Structure 1
Amino acid sequence: MSLSPRIIALLLACLISALTVAFLTFVEGVTLNMIFVVAVSSFAISFFLVLYAIELLVYREVNKMYKTIHKLKIRDFAISRKSIIKNTNPFKKLNDEIFVYVARKQKEIDELKRLEQFRREFLADVSHELKTPIFAAQGFIHTLIDGAIDDDKVRDKFLNKAAKSLDGLDALVKDLVALSQLETGEVKMNFERVDIRGITEDIYEQLEKIAHSKHATLRIKADRPGPIWVKADAQRIAQVMTNLIENAIKYGNENGRVLVTFEEDRKHWSISVRDDGPGIPPEHLSRIFERFYRVEKSRSKDRGGTGLGLAIVKHILNAHKSKVTVMSKLEKGTTFRFKLDRID
């Protein structure tokens, strides 16, 4: 049988009243009227005090705990840490602490599930990316072994294709190793005074052939002439600029323009790489820095690349205490922007 707060209060009040009356009967000079008044008053006071204590301090807070459990089941984690500190009721504080603890653990579980899903997707992506060049090279080599090696033209053609596939595999493995080292912190940045403008001009020269094939124009715009000195790892920041500029050329329009802009403020240089290509659809913007993520898989494959470039860019800039952002409008182009510490 379950007892309500009122029944418990009634029973305890009766017990307290009876004990009080029992003690009074042993006191000399106490009249029946006095015993009656004391019995009624002690009963009434005890009833309301016990009822208040049980109802407000115990039952109500226990009911709130059940409501908390229900909220946790539906994953409603809206609670303020300040409200816990302000509470003086120990049951309420316990209730809120349980809520915060379970909410934190639930979020940790959700994060572990997300990482597990990410691991599965990554393994699937790596398997797929490795399989393509391996199978291609394997097919060409087996064709040569089966007799095509005797034909000089076929032999040279297939060997070149096999070499190209293996070069792609080599580039993929190198990017995977670099990304893994960046994520685990194995790569230590060698920060020094670097001329980011000079690095950009060198990259423009290196990518001139690719730009010429797309009839793309490469330009630099800066707030002031001359070298632009920043605090950076020269090799890694060159890798960042190469990735961003090469992507701007590859995914930009024919006869397009790639513009690298340097804007100065009190403590930083803001560097942006902009193209006037077709742009990136809004639904893809939040995912383009993920490993192997491609906006259009077929077109991206045709243009080459490992699908790891932007992920590497993000991690290198994170190591520079910087963050890369992207803005894009369909048919108007895409802009990648980040900041580096200025050195005079």
Structure 2
Amino acid sequence: MAKKFKRSYRFALRTSLYQSIILGALMGAYMFFDLNFSFLLLGSFIILSYLFSFFIIQYRVERFIYRRIKKIYDDVSLLDSKTLNPSQVTTDMSTLTREVEKFAEDKKIEIESLKVREAYRKEFMGNVSHELKTPLFTVQGYILTLLDGAYKDKAVRKKYLMRASKGVERLIYIVRDLDMITKLEVGDLHLNHEKFNIIELIQGAFDLLEMKAAKKNITLTFDMEYEKPIMVSADKDRIQQVLSNLIVNSIKYGKKGGTTEISIENLIKNKVIVRVTDNGEGIEKENIPRLFERFYRVDKSGSRKEGGSGLGLSIVKHILEAHGEKIYVESVYGVGSEFSFTLEKSKESAVDPLSTKTS
């Protein structure tokens, strides 16, 4: 037989052979001195002893190894004992060793993954706590001041109530964004796909954020004049949120007197790519991989002064992924940043308005 005996079988065969030889020698000596010596009887005895010993030893070895190894599995809780079966454990120790090493390696990887998740969870909880703590303490401070007697002064009362109201609005803003990102992550947010003009949507975002940009003297503009509409298919409200978040982000980190420019280009036959480019402070290379994490801030002190929930880019990423689209970021520190994302063109677009665009 080409297939080699497994180790436990080899052990049982050798042990049975040794035992049979010893018993045969003793039996032969006894028969010789009793003058009843018979090669046939002696041979039969040796063969029966060998077979009987083999089956007894093999069975006991299998049971012994299986029980001992299974006890180790159960005690250490390293492996799932349900994955064991007698043939795996008891008939090939080299296979068992490989399986134990494989399971141990898998558990090591799992433990490392859990450590990373735990570190992320702690960081996330710390960020949530910090984001909620500031407006909560602000609201509490103004209310306690009013309760201590400041409410009697009408001017102070109105001022403090307005400031407390702003704190509550910030809390609502954070909770709303957390609720949205949770729905996006679990796929519980319904997308209402429709056809719309992306140029018109961008212009609407410019109009809404014009005053915010004016405070830093930042110009919101297209890279060129788009005379014809560019029709895309997506959830209009969600894409408007994507555009607003990216434009707000460019204003937040833009330099005074700078520019936020948006361009639309053909990517492939049925896709366009929208680019939001600014000449602001840029992003350091080591921060780019973490930009889309919840509450991650490149400049923690500066961004908190500017407000926001710290969830804007994370929401952008999840909205686009829910559409089956991608978002990209390129940035040079001290020069500026470019965020770009893809959208599907409407199938009913008759003439491609980007075909005549010059670079």
**TM-score under structure 1 length normalisation:** 0.71
Mapped partners of 2:111, 2:227: distance in 1: 53
Deviates more, 1:151-160 or 1:93-102: 93-102
Correspondent of 1:105 among 79, 104, 107: 107
CA 1:9–1:236 in 2, change beyond 3 Å: closer, same or farther?
same
Q: CA deviation at 1:329?
A: 0.5
Correspondent of 1:189 among 191, 205, 225: 191
Q: CA deviation at 1:299?
A: 0.7
Secondary structure of 1:187's counterpart equals coil
The answer (yes or no) to whether the contact 2:199–2:226 under 8 Å persists in 1 is: no
> Percent identity of the aligned residues?
41
AA partner of residue 305 (structure 1): G
Q: CA deviation at 1:238?
A: 1.0
Correspondent of 1:312 among 315, 319, 330: 315
AA partner of residue 270 (structure 2): K
Q: CA deviation at 1:109?
A: 2.6
CA 1:124–1:332 in 2, change beyond 3 Å: closer, same or farther?
same
Mapped partners of 1:152, 1:230: distance in 2: 53
Report the equivalent of 2:34.
none
User: Which runs of 5 or more residues in structure 2 are unaligned?
Assistant: 1-11, 24-37, 41-91, 350-359
Correspondent of 1:290 among 286, 289, 293: 293
Mapped partners of 1:222, 1:192: distance in 2: 26
Report the equivalent of 2:329.
326
User: Which runs of 5 or more residues in structure 1 are unaligned?
Assistant: 1-7, 20-24, 28-89
Correspondent of 1:245 among 212, 228, 247: 247
Mapped partners of 2:39, 2:185: distance in 1: 83
Mapped partners of 1:92, 1:220: distance in 2: 68
Correspondent of 1:135 among 129, 137, 155: 137
AA partner of residue 226 (structure 1): K
Q: CA deviation at 1:17?
A: 10
Q: CA deviation at 1:247?
A: 0.7
Q: Residue by residue, what CA displacement relative to the aligned partner does 1:169-211 show, whole Å, maximum 9, x if unpaired? A: 1111111111111112111222222322221111000001111
Report the equivalent of 1:259.
261
The answer (yes or no) to whether the contact 1:270–1:338 under 8 Å persists in 2 is: yes
Mapped partners of 1:97, 1:169: distance in 2: 52
Secondary structure of 1:301's counterpart equals helix
Secondary structure of 1:258's counterpart equals strand
Correspondent of 2:181 among 165, 179, 193: 179
Q: CA deviation at 1:245?
A: 0.6
AA partner of residue 317 (structure 1): L
Mapped partners of 2:344, 2:94: distance in 1: 49
Report the equivalent of 1:77.
none
Secondary structure of 2:223's counterpart equals strand
Report the equivalent of 1:198.
200
AA partner of residue 145 (structure 1): L
Secondary structure of 2:262's counterpart equals strand
- The answer to whether structure 1 residue 233 and structure 2 residue 235 are counterparts is yes
Q: Residue by residue, what CA displacement relative to the aligned partner does 1:286-319 show, whole Å, maximum 9, x if unpaired? A: 1121111111111111111011111111111111
Secondary structure of 1:232's counterpart equals strand
CA 1:166–1:15 in 2, change beyond 3 Å: closer, same or farther?
closer
CA 1:224–1:152 in 2, change beyond 3 Å: closer, same or farther?
closer
Q: What is the 5 A alignment of 1:16-165?
A: 98-165=100-167
Mapped partners of 2:13, 2:116: distance in 1: 51
Q: Residue by residue, what CA displacement relative to the aligned partner does 1:237-283 show, whole Å, maximum 9, x if unpaired? A: 11111100111112101010001121102231111211100111112
Q: Residue by residue, what CA displacement relative to the aligned partner does 1:141-187 show, whole Å, maximum 9, x if unpaired? A: 22122222232332222122111111111111111111111112111
Deviates more, 1:175-184 or 1:186-195: 186-195
Report the equivalent of 1:337.
340
The answer (yes or no) to whether the contact 1:260–1:274 under 8 Å persists in 2 is: yes
Mapped partners of 1:248, 1:13: distance in 2: 84
| RMSD, matched Cα | 3.8
CA 1:150–1:231 in 2, change beyond 3 Å: closer, same or farther?
same
Secondary structure of 1:317's counterpart equals helix
Mapped partners of 1:98, 1:207: distance in 2: 61
